[in-house]
Amino acid sequence: MLFMVEMDVNIPLDFDAEEAARLKAEEKAYSQKLQADGTWRHIWRKTGLYSNVSIFDVASNEALHDVLMALPLYPFMVMKVTPLNRHPSAIRDDDT
Amino acid sequence: MLFMVEMDVNIPLDFDAEEAARLKAEEKAYSQKLQADGTWRHIWRKTGLYSNVSIFDVASNEALHDVLMALPLYPFMVMKVTPLNRHPSAIRDDDT
Amino acid sequence: MLFMVEMDVNIPLDFDAEEAARLKAEEKAYSQKLQADGTWRHIWRKTGLYSNVSIFDVASNEALHDVLMALPLYPFMVMKVTPLNRHPSAIRDDDT
Amino acid sequence: MLFMVEMDVNIPLDFDAEEAARLKAEEKAYSQKLQADGTWRHIWRKTGLYSNVSIFDVASNEALHDVLMALPLYPFMVMKVTPLNRHPSAIRDDDT
Amino acid sequence: MLFMVEMDVNIPLDFDAEEAARLKAEEKAYSQKLQADGTWRHIWRKTGLYSNVSIFDVASNEALHDVLMALPLYPFMVMKVTPLNRHPSAIRDDDT
Amino acid sequence: MLFMVEMDVNIPLDFDAEEAARLKAEEKAYSQKLQADGTWRHIWRKTGLYSNVSIFDVASNEALHDVLMALPLYPFMVMKVTPLNRHPSAIRDDDT
Amino acid sequence: MLFMVEMDVNIPLDFDAEEAARLKAEEKAYSQKLQADGTWRHIWRKTGLYSNVSIFDVASNEALHDVLMALPLYPFMVMKVTPLNRHPSAIRDDDT
Amino acid sequence: MLFMVEMDVNIPLDFDAEEAARLKAEEKAYSQKLQADGTWRHIWRKTGLYSNVSIFDVASNEALHDVLMALPLYPFMVMKVTPLNRHPSAIRDDDT
Amino acid sequence: MLFMVEMDVNIPLDFDAEEAARLKAEEKAYSQKLQADGTWRHIWRKTGLYSNVSIFDVASNEALHDVLMALPLYPFMVMKVTPLNRHPSAIRDDDT
Amino acid sequence: MLFMVEMDVNIPLDFDAEEAARLKAEEKAYSQKLQADGTWRHIWRKTGLYSNVSIFDVASNEALHDVLMALPLYPFMVMKVTPLNRHPSAIRDDDT
């Protein structure tokens, strides 16, 4: 089941730079693990912004919630969650 | 080069049903041709809405404009265009 | 899996009254059938408005989409869909 | 008498973690007591957000106000209150 | 129990003038009957607008809904409903 | 001459509690004095919010401005001011 | 007593051109009469828009309402009314 | 050439009171000098708000920018700039 | 003196196609004449939209207003006008 | 390929003045280098605001992102990115 999640990241100007770097590294590792297992199907940067558009493939709303809440940068993010469906015109079944 | 395009379709209540059906069939054929050639990389329905989220892979802004303007349902659509980049955390090259 | 759906109904002033009455009767029958089978868990009127807040319990985004698209009054509605989770403080399991 | 209350929780990044944990525990206990006595009829998490949708069943606006003002996390919340009615299509009387 | 209701009236330019006049007369009579019985506690015009701010005193959300739905001009109105409480600084009991 | 004033109060989380209590007491005394002399005609709490809806009866815009600027909690408030008129359907002259 | 009124004019594309011309002439005559008697203190066009910013000097909210409601183009306008005061830094008394 | 400038002033609660008083005095002197030389044609307070509506008469956009940037309170202001024209219905030439 | 003007064009679905084509041809001719004489410095299409971003170089707000009001498609447009200045970092004098 | 980028700059009131001056000097040098090489085609100040409208000419979304992310003042900016096309009515080829 697919969801679009749009994430805007706002790290305060005076946040500790080292801690920020550590959180970003954790975020990247966490994201890549989920991409590798097929949960985080796509991630794109919005051009010019510290924001991404992501597509998640999860078993349920609960599963999506747990994945997002575990994001190392979650406390710095504003989230927009949009449930998606396979489009009747789609030619690929695995874009369900 | 990737773009997210969000399309909301609004066909007036009193629009001729036959003509609407014809336009939707044309739209589907047009979309599937572009999906097949790799231009229209993804298309998802927003759950519960007559709206879609699409990812286009085009050579330029000009190319995207031409593709969108040729949509048979374009006159009934409200469009939102967001340029995208490969995300530094992405593990797949073809999500450029 | 639960979703909140907020529906605003706008029937044009000059829409045929008899046809509107017929559609509303169909809508009511359709809603009650889905309430009876547990799909449409709750429906409340927003006080003073021709709008409702509903809770749906469905197997997937696809299932929700199909249920909503089949609403007899769908062409007259503006929809807002919000995916929901069981809340960690909830004391009732069936509010999953 | 039913009300939908949507609560967004925003605890500042630099708020004392222990105090936050204490307040959340109090909030949970308070919520569960009100759920048990039928005042707080439903509580759902909005997927991916630190927000909930709740349904309250109270005797009056005054009663709702008192319940909400006593929330341990109230100072961190943005509230949206929507009065609700039994829907004419509802099949259950106790969703009044 | 008090509610503020803000009503914006929009009668289409081409609506039959005689029918509009008849509806406005009915609206006035209906409003004055409710003012006389204490249900419609206050009604003020917003300066320069075809809009009013009203205070209703009703037994329940249901009662308010029924009162509003019976407004002769309801189909031409956009409504905003805000539940109110007696303010702790109020000196008059009947502003409950 | 009547005005509706909607006031949202936002006292920062870390504001000195004693000073806040002192300001609230002053605010209440100030409000009650103005209610007693007929300037502050009505004050209602918005249910669930730290906001009020008030009706002022003043001789001029200048008079309203001076009254509002002297509110002890003014620096913590967001104000919305709406000029009002007697409504042609009102049955009470003193709601002018 | 001063008020800023911002008026946006929207005459439908298919409105009778002759009737529109007649209404605009009436509007101009009405505006100029009020300018001459000091009620309509200023009127400026917003550059590039069919909108104006006006300053009215009236005895009361009631007086402003009556002046605005009598505008020949009122049914085609969207109004925004802002009460104004003499500014403490103003050097001219007649900008009261 | 005329411009409407709407200025909202937000001085932080914890800003040094003496420094604020000094800046306000400078602001007033600066404003009055510009009023005296005809650049700042009008300034009105928005009733109940720490905001003003001003009309500037300047030779160019550049000139307006320089005037505004030199406002002692500029760093605390949110600005909205609207270019204005003489209105075809205006009876006074000097309201150009 | 420079202004950015953003124009969104909305021609109704049922507008006469021949008349629309005639107006678009006139619009193009008019635009090109103004581009040639340096008034309409730049015009770009917003990708995927029937909207443009334009830069005008005019002697005054009045001049801009007259140029825009004479656009053959003006009645179908929503305009946003933003006055611009030479930027202190600009390296080209002719970007004024 | 052209993009419009609108940048609003917000440097906190208490940010170190010397550091701000250093960053602004770097920003200016960086901007002028990009203007000189044709990447940053235009930059205009929005009148009265600490905001600019810029036109970038880049090879791809990726290139634009890299250019923007390297802005010395990027952490203080809110960005809006709009992809642009040559307009069919444009008379200059190099405004592609």
Structure confidence by residue, pLDDT tens digits, D36-81? 999 999 999 999 999 999 999 999 999 999 999 999 999 999 999 9
Please report residues of A whose CB lies closer than 8 A to that of J64: 47-48
Question: Cα distance from D88 to chain F (closest Cα, Å)?
Answer: 25
The SS3 call for residue G47 is coil
Q: Is residue D96 part of a domain?
A: no
Answer whether residue G95 is part of any domain: no
**Residue G93 counted as domain residue:** no
- Whether I89 has a pLDDT exceeding 60, the answer reads yes
Helices (H), A37-87: 61-69
- How many separate helices (H) and strands (E) can be counted in chain C? 2, 4
The total of other beta-carbon atoms located within 10 Å of residue G55's CB is 20
Minimum Cα–Cα distance from F76: chain H residue? H13
**Within a 10 A sphere around the Cβ of G62, how many other Cβ atoms?**
18
Model pLDDT for residues E16-53, shown as the tens digit of each residue: 999 999 999 999 999 999 999 999 999 999 999 999 99
Instruction: Using alpha carbons, select from G66, D81, G85 the residue that is nearest to residue E4.
Output: D81
For residue I84, what are its two tokens? 């611009």
Contact E7, E51 (CB under 8 A): yes
Residue A92's pLDDT is 86
pLDDT, position C40: 97
Domain that holds residue A54: 2-88
Q: Which two tokens stand for residue B24?
A: 């939707």
Per-residue pLDDT for J81 more than 90?
yes
Identify which of H43, H88, H92 has the shortest CB distance to residue G87. Answer: H43
Physical contact, G and B (3 or more Cβ pairs within 8 A): no
Are there at least 3 beta-carbon pairs closer than 8 Å between D and F? Answer: yes
Alpha-carbon gap, residue B67 to B90, rounded angstroms: 27
Residue I9 buriedness (CB in 10 A; 0-12 / 13-18 / 19+): middle
pLDDT per residue of chain C (96 residues) written in tens, 0 to 9: 999 999 999 999 999 999 999 999 999 999 999 999 999 999 999 999 999 999 999 999 999 999 999 999 999 999 999 999 999 999 987 665
What distance in Å separates the CA atoms of residue E33 and residue E51, rounded to the nearest whole number? 20
Q: Which helix (H) or strand (E) holds B62?
A: helix B61-69
DSSP bridge partners of D6: D53, D80
Number of domains making up chain E: 1
The minimum CA-CA distance between I79 and chain G, rounded to whole Å, is 7
Q: Are B44 and I87 in contact (CB under 8 A)?
A: no
Q: Tell the residue number behind the tokens 């003043």, with chain if given.
A: F58
Residues of chain A neighbouring C61 (CB-CB closer than 8 A): 1-3, 83-85
Residues from chain B that touch J81, judged by Cβ atoms under 8 A, are 83
Q: How far away is chain I from the Cα of B93, in angstroms, using its nearest Cα?
A: 26
Alpha-carbon distance of G24 to G71, in angstroms, equals: 10
Q: Write out chain F residues lying below 8 Å of H46, CB-based.
A: 81
Residues of F in contact with E8 (CB under 8 A): none
Alpha-carbon gap: I6 to the closest alpha carbon of chain G (Å): 11
Residue to mutate among A40, A65, A67, A76, with most D CBs inside 10 A, is A65
Q: Select the residue of H5, H65, H75 nearest J13 (Cβ to Cβ).
A: H75
pLDDT beyond 90 at F92: no
Closest Cα to residue D84, out of D70, D71, D95? D95
Rounded to whole angstroms, the Cα distance separating G84 from F65 reads 9
pLDDT computed for residue I47 by the predictor: 98
- Domain contains E26: yes
Q: What percent of chain J lies above the pLDDT cut of 70?
A: 97
At E94, which amino acid appears? D
Query: What is the spatial distance between Cα C67 and Cα C56, in angstroms, rounded to a whole number?
Result: 9
Query: How many other CB atoms are found less than 10 A from the CB of residue G5?
Result: 22
- Using one digit for the tens of pLDDT, what is the confidence trace for G17-69? 999 999 999 999 999 999 999 999 999 999 999 999 999 999 999 999 999 99
Residue B94 has what pLDDT? 64
Stretch H14-41: mean pLDDT:
97
Task: Give, rounded to a whole angstrom, the gap between the first and last alpha carbons of chain I.
Answer: 7
Residues of chain A with pLDDT > 90, as a percent, come to: 94
Which residues in chain G touch residue H80, judged by CB atoms under 8 angstroms apart?
none
List residues of chain C with CB under 8 Å from any CB of chain E: 13, 45-49
| B9, pLDDT greater than 70 | yes
Neighbours of I69 (CB within 10 A): 12
How far apart (Å, rounded) are the C-alpha atoms in residues B49 and C81? 9
Residue J20 within any structural domain of the chain: yes
Tokens, residue E72: 């002769």
**What's the CATH number where A18 sits?**
3.30.70.1060
The pLDDT of residue B93: 72
F:G CB pairs within 8 Å: 30
Question: Mean pLDDT, chain I, as a whole number?
Answer: 95
- At residue B52, the pLDDT reads 98
What single-letter amino acid sits at E78?
A: V
For residue C46, give the H/E element and its range.
Answer: strand C40-46
The amino acid at residue B76 is: F
DSSP state of H75: G
Find, among A70, A32, A35, the residue nearest to A56 by Cα: A35
Cβ-nearest to B48 among C12, C75, C81: C81
Q: Residues I43-83: pLDDT tens digits?
A: 999 999 999 999 999 999 999 999 999 999 999 999 999 99
Instruction: Tell whether F45 is covered by a domain.
Output: yes
Give the closest-approach CA distance of C47 to chain D in angstroms.
5
pLDDT, tens only, F47-79: 999 999 999 999 999 999 999 999 999 999 999
Q: Could you tell me if residue H37 is inside a domain?
A: yes
Which residues are CB-contacts of I4 (< 8 A; sequence separation ≥ 6)?
I53, I54, I55, I81, I82, I84, J44, J53
Mean pLDDT (chain D) is: 95
D10 to chain A: nearest residue by CA? A75
Q: For residues C35 and C56, what is the distance between their CA atoms, to the nearest angstrom?
A: 9
Q: What is the pLDDT of residue E71?
A: 98
CB contact under 8 A, A61 and C81: no
d(CA I29, CA I48): 23
Q: What does the block give as tokens for J16?
A: 């170190």
Exposed / middle / buried, residue F90 (Cβ in 10 Å: 0-12, 13-18, 19+): buried
CB contact under 8 A, G83 and F3: yes
Instruction: Say if J23 falls within a structural domain.
Output: yes
If you ran DSSP here, which 8-state letter would residue C50 be given? Answer: S
What's the whole-number mean pLDDT along residues E2-6? Answer: 98
> What's the pLDDT score for residue G93?
73
Confidence of residue J92 (pLDDT cuts 50, 70, 90): confident
